[in-house]
Structure 1
Amino acid sequence: MKLKKYSIFAVLLLLIFSILSACNSESTGKEEEKGEDGEAKTANFNEEGFPIVNDKIKLTFVAPSDAAPDWNDILVYNKYEEMTNMDIEWEMISKDGLKEKTNLMLAGGDYPDAFHSVGLSTQDLITYGGQGVLIPLNDLIDKYAPNLKKILDENPDIKRGITMPDGNIYSFPRIFDPEFSSVMAGWKLWINEDFLKALDMEEPTTLDEFYEYLKAAKNDDPNGNGKADEIGLSASGDSNIINLFKGSFGLGNRGTAHPYVDMDPEKDELRFIPIDDGYKETLQYLNKLYSEGLIIEDLYTVKSEQTNARGTDGLFAATLTTSPESGYGREEYIGAQTLEGPHGDKLYSNYRAPLVHTGAFAITDKNQYPEETVRWLDYFYGDEGSKLYFMGVEGETYVENEDGSVEYSDLINNNPDGLSYVEAISKYMTWRGVTYPGIVKEEYFKGSEGLESSKAAAEKFVNDRPEEIWPPFNYTNEESEIMSSVGTDIEDYVTESQAKFITGKTSFDEWDKYVETVKKVGLDQYMEIYQNAYDRYLEQAQ
């Protein structure tokens, strides 16, 4: 009798254990088995090749809606779902208010499996990584991301840039191939070659020659229409102008990731650029151009789309843009040479770091498939993945030539539905207008920087680029709070003041007062934090 009772009890225990095991299996969504090393592995997961999983799994990613408003039915990701067996449900959020909505998700606990292209800040990564909301990726990258790992091994600065002060990597970055000079430079200075010929002038090689060219173009009617309608230098805002011209005064020797700080070559210490004498000379030169009407008058109010519209008439003597060919539809512009300054400086300072954005993709602790997700994303850091992401599907959106080069098909270049080039790209691909994770390579990127004219322009200054380019530095939470307050106050004051100096609203007689004000706002604290971040950057190299 007792034996029977024990048998019933044993059966009940076995039944309960089986139910619990089944529930546990459903909750994890994975069927596990033991591998040769004794560690549990997922039977459904393939560590190499496609598909990534044998039986389809579903994940939710948040992404910004912009040029391509809905990624749930778009060629690139439909094709990739077929390849991977991973169904991504895209939760699209308008770029207006994206930052606020993302932060509300993270802080409130109602967040997805991953964030794609939302542009998480370093402070977001440190805060939510430290809380365990965003998972550390160090080991996952080492094991399941061979494409990204190869890039990081070959470019240790990029790895240092995405490693937070606690030693963890919480995100996948957006990277520019360091060998792709045109995209590394971004906005370039272009000269109207037709104007040069009409004026019988050579390409400017110095700041003085550039000034003389602009003056002649403005006053001597090089387009020959009998009207004084030529415009000197065109740009939208002063950030790119300053980034470009300060190199002619020896400033910006560590690239544009640090527009306010570089290395003083004489003292071998960090230098705050906006109070340097060379910066004053930079602003004085730009003030000279502006005061003589040689820079577009509404520099600080014109929008880039307005500049593009004006550029179609070919009235700019010079312009700062990615490409006049793609932006204005004009082919008479040539890339300018690096302009030598009054002290012999010839530095192309408007040069970016390969690490463009750190927080392009992050995985949350709600994700039940982190290994699969890492494999899913790593594909876009390799050649085939880059080709898919930027070119789409062979035979539909692009064709491959006999030499292995690729180009868009008529579906993009001459869309049968009358879509423009930009509209057609956005219908089938998602790379336009977002801070996507992946690597931009010359072979597969057909944006403005990938045009032959842009690549030819970059060849003119490639030897004048900074010898060392810093990636963005990362700050601790405490440092980030100070940089968000004191640092923002300093940078806002600098931005406001430089505009007034350039336009002549503030006299250069006020320069010493301006410098003292920068120091009083908290420059010592600002530079101390910068030094701490720089020291950590150096330590990671050891």
Structure 2
Amino acid sequence: MNNSKKWASVILTAAMTTTMIAGCSGGEKAPAAGGKESSKGAEAKVNATGFPIVNEPVNLTFLAAKAPTTANNWNETMIWQEYAKMTNIKVNFQLIGFDAFTEKRNLALTSGDYPDAIYLARMSTDDLMKYGSQGVLIKLNDLIDKHAPNFKKLMEQYPEVKKAITMADGNIYSFPNMLSPDFTSVRMGGKLWIKKEWLEALKMEEPKTTEDFYNYLKAVKSTDLNKNGKADEIPLGATKLKDLVSHFKGFFGLGTRGSSHQMVDMDPNTNGLRFVPTDERYKELLTYFNKLYSEGLIDKDILPNEKDQNKFFAKGAEGVYGAVRMTSPFTLMKQTGFIGTNALQGPKGDKLYSEYRPAVSGPGAFVITNKNKNPEATVRWMDYFFSEEGNKMFFMGFKDKSYVEKPDGNVDYTDEILKNPQGLTMEQAVVKYVTWPGGGYPGIVRQKYFKGAESMQESLDTAKKVEANLPKEIWPAFSFTEKENERYLALNNDFTTYMDEMTAKFITGAAPLSDWDKYVATIKKMGLDEYMKIYQAAYERYKK
């Protein structure tokens, strides 16, 4: 079986399994990954600066993760069609939905049938170390130094960026998803929104504590606030129950080093590493959510449909939620009248907004494989999106088509996107031109050009509310040595699976909280001491 057929079989398998593949436009056959068909003459000469990147046309195949809110076929969007003309590099994007992407990506990488690069690769430091040490992913250290001036400049400006993407073996295997360090709103990610008009109707003030929030949810459940004569108000909704739990961690004194480390933080009482899921404060957090759930204050559909984001958005568009945890009810549900909450004060006085991401939100957003015959050209292709102009094109699209330039030099979307005549949301309208909706993409998110939910005034106002309660230190994802990595991955997967299962059971009552000690004992038996020893070693390397 030749490369083209083998790679096509991987994509076909993914399509049959997940029904979430967006294929090539116009029935075009996918070129072979990294072969002559892919590059039209291997190792094309790369121009040092400017466009085109190569004089002789190059074809590349990229595997990419597809968010539910982005375009269904990137090969037909304006940005990739126009960028192909600018660069003389045509990329054929093979899309796999988020839910199935990790499995299908790993299947491709382990089988040896993979493309030239993976865009929106969603790779953790563990993945990067694993596939980098195997030689499947190429080292980018020298390539970045010679062919990525825009990204190199950012690494020099923000040393934490280089630190976050340099693996334990000293190598860089990826370009990251980078959030501008001064863009607080985007680093917050999902926010907790509350319906202001319902607060006013209930004659309640904006919640300041977790108890105030509980009282508001109770009032929503017992009042016909949408005045339709039905008891259809849902006090609290989110795409996933674990997102709610993570959002509230800081209010219970947990998550002291930001959101990249969901299970380990720094205990302020001991100044040592702490395993969050076995801490007594985590039990208090679960007890709080058990109360909310048992009293019907959390959307009952949140568990069986936790992966069905579209159902959550559709329900939200009906205006039934009193509070939601999400990026924005404005852009995704077309709901007005919501305001972002402050950091809530928990039962022991904690008021930490712990769901705060590091500048490198995703270390492995773009990787180049050893099948790629044109790595220099591919690096230059990617580097453009870390520049000001590339950043503007990636988020805004094209002047007088998807955006207009104002007299003061600022840019904004056209009325087609902001006031769509077909009634589309902003993100639904913009995907005709660009593919950023859904997040996780390689490049940098600057407030100047990013016009998504996090740049809306309501989001910026919410960011100002919590600034005083952000963690003083934010850890990026740690990297592990090749020896540590295999054992760490096994333990981390076991802990995550068990913790997610038991968190849901404790909250819904499927397991009583009186079983807490058994739960803690089980985690210890699973290898907690070994896990924390590995984590300590990674932390020591990070400090150095």
Report TM bin, short chain. Answer: 0.7 to 0.9
User: Corresponding residue for 1:63?
Assistant: 63
Q: Does the 8 Å CA contact 2:125/2:477 hold for their aligned counterparts?
A: no
User: Corresponding residue for 2:430?
Assistant: 425
Q: Does the 8 Å CA contact 2:139/2:173 hold for their aligned counterparts?
A: yes
Q: Does 1:182 align with 2:182?
A: no
User: Corresponding residue for 2:519?
Assistant: 514
Deviations, residues 190-231 of structure 1 (Å, cap 9, x unaligned): 111111111111111011211222222222444445543322
Aligned length: 499
User: Corresponding residue for 1:491?
Assistant: 496
Q: Does the 8 Å CA contact 1:250/1:278 hold for their aligned counterparts?
A: yes
User: Corresponding residue for 1:451?
Assistant: 456
Q: Percent identity?
A: 48
1:298-317 superposed matches below 5 A: 298-302=301-305, 303-317=308-322
User: Corresponding residue for 1:10?
Assistant: none
Going from structure 1 to structure 2, the CA distance change for 1:533 and 1:429 (only over 3 Å counts) comes to same
- The separation in 2 between residues aligned to 1:227 and 1:390, in whole angstroms, is 42
User: Corresponding residue for 1:118?
Assistant: 121
Going from structure 1 to structure 2, the CA distance change for 1:52 and 1:27 (only over 3 Å counts) comes to closer
* Alpha-carbon offset, residue 461 of structure 1: 1.0
Going from structure 1 to structure 2, the CA distance change for 1:402 and 1:63 (only over 3 Å counts) comes to farther
User: Corresponding residue for 2:243?
Assistant: 240
User: Corresponding residue for 2:299?
Assistant: 296
Q: Does the 8 Å CA contact 1:490/1:522 hold for their aligned counterparts?
A: no
* Alpha-carbon offset, residue 471 of structure 1: 0.8
- The separation in 2 between residues aligned to 1:382 and 1:148, in whole angstroms, is 8
Secondary structure of the corresponding residue to residue 281 of structure 1: helix
Q: Does the 8 Å CA contact 2:47/2:53 hold for their aligned counterparts?
A: yes
**Which of 435, 443, 451 in structure 2 is aligned with 1:438?**
443
Task: Please identify, of 394-403 and 427-436, the stretch whose mean Cα deviation from structure 2 is larger.
Answer: 427-436
Secondary structure of the corresponding residue to residue 274 of structure 1: helix
**Which of 147, 158, 161 in structure 1 is aligned with 2:161?**
158
* Alpha-carbon offset, residue 508 of structure 1: 2.2
User: Corresponding residue for 1:90?
Assistant: 92
* Alpha-carbon offset, residue 434 of structure 1: 6.0
- The separation in 2 between residues aligned to 1:123 and 1:464, in whole angstroms, is 30
**Which of 466, 471, 478 in structure 1 is aligned with 2:483?**
478
- The separation in 2 between residues aligned to 1:389 and 1:108, in whole angstroms, is 32
Q: Does the 8 Å CA contact 1:145/1:378 hold for their aligned counterparts?
A: yes
Going from structure 1 to structure 2, the CA distance change for 1:486 and 1:429 (only over 3 Å counts) comes to same
Whichever residue aligns with residue 364 of structure 1, its letter is: T
Whichever residue aligns with residue 212 of structure 1, its letter is: N
Deviations, residues 480-515 of structure 1 (Å, cap 9, x unaligned): 322332222222111111112112222222211211
Secondary structure of the corresponding residue to residue 125 of structure 1: helix
Secondary structure of the corresponding residue to residue 488 of structure 1: helix
* Alpha-carbon offset, residue 168 of structure 1: 0.4
Secondary structure of the corresponding residue to residue 326 of structure 1: helix
Gaps spanning 5+ residues in structure 1: where?
1-25, 31-43
User: Corresponding residue for 1:18?
Assistant: none
- The separation in 2 between residues aligned to 1:124 and 1:498, in whole angstroms, is 26
User: Corresponding residue for 1:143?
Assistant: 146
User: Corresponding residue for 2:417?
Assistant: 412
* Alpha-carbon offset, residue 126 of structure 1: 2.3
Going from structure 1 to structure 2, the CA distance change for 1:134 and 1:313 (only over 3 Å counts) comes to closer
CA radius of gyration, larger in: 1
Whichever residue aligns with residue 64 of structure 2, its letter is: P
User: Corresponding residue for 2:407?
Assistant: 402
Task: Please identify, of 410-419 and 470-479, the stretch whose mean Cα deviation from structure 2 is larger.
Answer: 410-419
User: Corresponding residue for 1:534?
Assistant: 539
Q: Does 1:76 align with 2:79?
A: yes
Task: Please identify, of 520-529 and 70-79, the stretch whose mean Cα deviation from structure 2 is larger.
Answer: 70-79
- The separation in 1 between residues aligned to 2:80 and 2:228, in whole angstroms, is 51
Deviations, residues 368-421 of structure 1 (Å, cap 9, x unaligned): 433332222111012211111111111111111122222222443456788664
Q: Does 1:332 align with 2:337?
A: yes
- The separation in 1 between residues aligned to 2:357 and 2:493, in whole angstroms, is 21
Deviations, residues 325-354 of structure 1 (Å, cap 9, x unaligned): 122222111111111112211101111222
Secondary structure of the corresponding residue to residue 263 of structure 1: strand
Report the aligned-residue RMSD. 2.4
Task: Please identify, of 100-109 and 282-291, the stretch whose mean Cα deviation from structure 2 is larger.
Answer: 100-109
**Which of 239, 250, 253 in structure 1 is aligned with 2:253?**
250
Q: Does 1:46 align with 2:51?
A: no
Going from structure 1 to structure 2, the CA distance change for 1:83 and 1:330 (only over 3 Å counts) comes to same
User: Corresponding residue for 1:360?
Assistant: 365
- The separation in 2 between residues aligned to 1:439 and 1:517, in whole angstroms, is 41
Q: Does the 8 Å CA contact 1:76/1:392 hold for their aligned counterparts?
A: yes
Gaps spanning 5+ residues in structure 2: where?
1-39
- The separation in 1 between residues aligned to 2:61 and 2:440, in whole angstroms, is 15
TM-score with structure 2 setting the length: 0.85
- The separation in 1 between residues aligned to 2:43 and 2:207, in whole angstroms, is 65
User: Corresponding residue for 1:192?
Assistant: 195
User: Corresponding residue for 2:232?
Assistant: 229
- The separation in 1 between residues aligned to 2:525 and 2:498, in whole angstroms, is 12
- The separation in 1 between residues aligned to 2:41 and 2:304, in whole angstroms, is 55
User: Corresponding residue for 1:202?
Assistant: 205
Deviations, residues 56-78 of structure 1 (Å, cap 9, x unaligned): 33041313374434444432123
Deviations, residues 229-284 of structure 1 (Å, cap 9, x unaligned): 32222223221211121211111111111111100111111000111111111111
Whichever residue aligns with residue 341 of structure 2, its letter is: A
Deviations, residues 31-69 of structure 1 (Å, cap 9, x unaligned): xxxxxxxxxxxxx5432333333x233041313374434
User: Corresponding residue for 1:9?
Assistant: none
* Alpha-carbon offset, residue 100 of structure 1: 4.8
**Which of 282, 285, 289 in structure 2 is aligned with 1:282?**
285
Going from structure 1 to structure 2, the CA distance change for 1:364 and 1:489 (only over 3 Å counts) comes to closer
- The separation in 2 between residues aligned to 1:164 and 1:398, in whole angstroms, is 39
Q: Does the 8 Å CA contact 2:125/2:478 hold for their aligned counterparts?
A: no
Going from structure 1 to structure 2, the CA distance change for 1:243 and 1:77 (only over 3 Å counts) comes to same
User: Corresponding residue for 1:132?
Assistant: 135
Task: Please identify, of 227-236 and 395-404, the stretch whose mean Cα deviation from structure 2 is larger.
Answer: 227-236
* Alpha-carbon offset, residue 151 of structure 1: 2.0
* Alpha-carbon offset, residue 439 of structure 1: 0.8
- The separation in 2 between residues aligned to 1:48 and 1:265, in whole angstroms, is 49
1:365-384 superposed matches below 5 A: 365-384=370-389
Deviations, residues 116-173 of structure 1 (Å, cap 9, x unaligned): 2233443443233223332211122223222212222232222222111110001111
- The separation in 1 between residues aligned to 2:291 and 2:100, in whole angstroms, is 40
Task: Please identify, of 517-526 and 67-76, the stretch whose mean Cα deviation from structure 2 is larger.
Answer: 67-76
